[in-house]
Amino acid sequence: MKTNRLFLAAILAGAIGAPSVILAQDKSVVAQVAPAAVQLPIEGRLPSLASATGWLNSRPLMQSDLRGKVILIDFWTYTCIYWRRTLPYVRAWAEKYKDQGLVVIGVHAPEFSFEKNIANVRRSAEDMRIDYPVAIDSEHAIWAAFRNQYWPALYLIDVSGQIRYHQFGEGEYEQSERTIQQLLAEAGTGGTDHQLVSVNARGFEAAADWGSLKSPENYVGYERTENFASPGGAVLDEARVYAAPARLQLNHWALSGNWTMEEEAALLNKPDGRIAYRFHARDLHLVLAPPAQGHPIRFRIKIDGASPGADHGLDVDPEGRGSVQEARLYQLVRQTEPIADRTFEIEFFDAGVRAYGFTFG
């Protein structure tokens, strides 16, 4: 089910994401006066946040703390690239509208088991410059109370505690911000500055290259993977020596070396294991985890059999070398044009790494 949630988020992003970014950044096409208010529906009441298993950047926030506030609830999980690309807008809104009464609350609802570790979430929040309150929803209780199904998911709540707007997936940044402004105006706290925020998104936060994206996300664990191409298929929860076929079709992948295919990841049992993937996208990301904090795993990537050079991602050098230092999302490829079908390969020189899932951009 979570695969469908994330894949739908990607589809939504592809359908509506890019135009919204352009509108938010190009001031020549953004209205400088407040547009006419639209009639916002009532979608339900704000559920309690009392089931949070912890909080970052704040003491626990109760309903009484939030009464009379305009609230933005942002569901996220720190390895999700779709959410990561929305973060610069949420961060900018939190800063611009905090003195007008907007309260931004992130709800961290983990996808992978290691994302339940609050130390991992805290480190990621610090690295991503998230300083607004974050409710830790490790058991998905708040998620269930909202009947949420997506990462990312944004909900806007008015001063009476009614949910008035939602956005699932990337995009629609102008509409989301206009709704913030409208709810603040209804509350009597909104200012006269109706200009939209302008963000300079880089690195992981840069918008996807939707025009060249032909690879959907895929998982490495057997529960949700697709198009696994190693001869003989997967053996579940047992060590096996795998090999890659001579050629991969687009969006197919394979293991080489001694691996155990687990439910949510593939575990490398002996050094010198490889993963190969045929993809078509500017960016390639992979969620990876070392066996323990402080036990880095060395790796090297290749694109079509060669070092990536200028096409290397943030977590590798031009020779393709890097290391898995902590459990998180790694950007391994960011191509320059032209974008074409490519074969990606990553070789791990040390045992113990777990690979969880590929995303593209």
Encode pLDDT of 106-126 as tens digits: 999 999 999 999 999 999 999
Per-residue pLDDT averaged across 190-206, rounded?
A: 90
**CA distances, 148 to each of 92, 168, 204, 219 (Å):** 24, 9, 25, 21
Of residues 92, 97, 88, the one with CA closest to residue 69: 97
Per-residue pLDDT averaged across 253-277, rounded?
A: 98
Give residue 31's pLDDT band: very low, low, confident or very high (50, 70, 90): very low
The answer to whether 166 touches 69, Cβ cutoff 8 Å, is: no
Per-residue pLDDT averaged across 19-43, rounded?
A: 47
Task: Work out the angle between the directed axes of helices 87-97 and 173-187 (0-180°, nearest 10).
Answer: 20
Give residue 21's pLDDT band: very low, low, confident or very high (50, 70, 90): very low
HEC letters along the chain: CHHHHHHHHHHHHHHHHHHHHHHHHCHHHCCCCCCCCCCCCCCCECCCCCCCCEEECCCCCCHHHHCCCEEEEEEECCCCHHHHCCHHHHHHHHHHHHHHCEEEEEEECCCCHHHHCHHHHHHHHHHCCCCCCEEECCCCHHHHHHCCCCCCEEEEECCCCEEEEEEECCCCHHHHHHHHHHHHHHHCCCCCCCCCCCCCCCHHHCCCCHHHCCCCCEECCCCCCCCECCCCCCCECCEEEECCCCCCCCCCEEEEEEEEECCCCEEECCCCEEEEEEECCCEEEEEEECCCCCCCEEEEEEECCECCHHHECCCCCCCCEEEECCCEEEEEEECCCCCCCEEEEEEECCCCCEEEEEEEC
Better-predicted residue by pLDDT, 194 or 278? 278
Of residues 258, 319, 316, 267, the one with CA closest to residue 290: 267
For 129-168, what is each residue's pLDDT tens digit? 999 999 999 999 999 999 999 999 999 999 999 999 999 9
In the predicted structure, residue 9 carries a pLDDT above the cut 50: no
Percent of the chain residues past pLDDT 70, beyond the cut:
90
Per-residue pLDDT averaged across 288-295, rounded?
A: 91
In the predicted structure, residue 105 carries a pLDDT above the cut 80: yes
Domains and CATH numbers, the chain: 2-205 (3.40.30.10), 210-360 (2.60.120.260)
In the predicted structure, residue 274 carries a pLDDT above the cut 70: yes
Q: What's the pLDDT at 193?
A: 81
Better-predicted residue by pLDDT, 244 or 9? 244
Q: What's the pLDDT at 37?
A: 67
Lowest mean pLDDT among 42-51, 201-210, 305-314, 349-358: 42-51
Average pLDDT, the chain: 90
In the predicted structure, residue 26 carries a pLDDT above the cut 70: no
Q: What's the pLDDT at 36?
A: 59
Q: What's the pLDDT at 293?
A: 80
Give residue 353's pLDDT band: very low, low, confident or very high (50, 70, 90): very high
Using only the alpha carbons of the chain, give its radius of gyration.
Answer: 21
Q: What's the pLDDT at 182?
A: 96
For 231-240, what is each residue's pLDDT tens digit? 999 999 999 9
Q: What's the pLDDT at 41?
A: 79
Q: What's the pLDDT at 44?
A: 87
In the predicted structure, residue 91 carries a pLDDT above the cut 90: yes
Q: What's the pLDDT at 38?
A: 74
Per-residue pLDDT averaged across 207-220, rounded?
A: 97
In the predicted structure, residue 209 carries a pLDDT above the cut 70: yes
